[in-house]
Amino acid sequence: MTKAAVIQMVSTSALAANLERAAHLLQQAAEAGARLALLPENFALFDSGLARSLAEAEYRDQPVQTWLAEQARSLGIWIVAGSLPAIDRPDGSLIEDGRVRSRMLVVNDSGDVVARYDKRHLFDVDVGDAQSRYRESDRFEPGDDVAVVDSPIGVLGLSICYDLRFPLHYQRLRELGAEVLLVPSAFTAVTGEAHWEVLLRARAIETQCYCLGADQGGQHTPTRLTWGHSMILSPWGEVLGCHETGEGIVLAEIDLPGLHRQREQMPVWQHRRDRC
């Protein structure tokens, strides 16, 4: 068995301070024996108004990607950057309308980016909280492709936040061989309290995968409050660990032989009448 960590943060618009806190939490995860650590959505910058400027800096000089590589090499762990803004598409073209993509990066313990995923589903929703209205599509362009990648804890299926509400996304990941689903997020307190845990449990149960949910968890601005409750779930839907509010880490063992025994004993995938 191998150990995984999910990291919960309360990120702000201060890039340097966010990276300092992330480094501290990553060190905790590494010292606890984690082979892979998942950071939340917007871990480096929680301010959509500054996303384009950070994306342009990343395209030119890659300051956060360089930091991620250094952390992964020095700590000897894989790091999954929950999301970073990006101005380039997978085909190399640039986004010219001022928007960015929300991009997950998987960095191995040698500091190499081994997988990328651009968030496919954008949060254009009216919520009964202090901010009330969310329109990600005003500042973000959706991605198109799903992605999996092999890792020390199993085959990772990549997703970001609002993707969690779309089960077909995860069925496609399972079809591609996913064993561990990654869900870095910044769920609002209202939607998180109502749906965060039940959606994570549903995705784990229906795909028979481990599910790692790394959420933002606190007050970011006077109008922006996130739910937290970062957790790791088994393929049976059990909550193996949870951190409720504020920053912190959750650790759990990933038992791939046990996962495959469960799939053999209850071969849900072979029983399907439909295909994704």
Concerning whether 179 is annotated as a catalytic residue, the answer is no
Concerning whether 119 is annotated as a catalytic residue, the answer is yes
Look at the chain and count its residues.
276
**Gap between the Cα atoms of 181 and 173, Å rounded:** 8
Question: Of 41, 136, 179, 247, which one is the catalytic site residue?
Answer: 41
Question: Of 3, 58, 119, 141, which one is the catalytic site residue?
Answer: 119
Question: Of 141, 161, 179, 197, which one is the catalytic site residue?
Answer: 161
Burial of 164 (0-12, 13-18, 19+ CB in 10 A): buried
Concerning whether 3 is annotated as a catalytic residue, the answer is no
Residues annotated catalytic, as ranges: 41, 119, 161
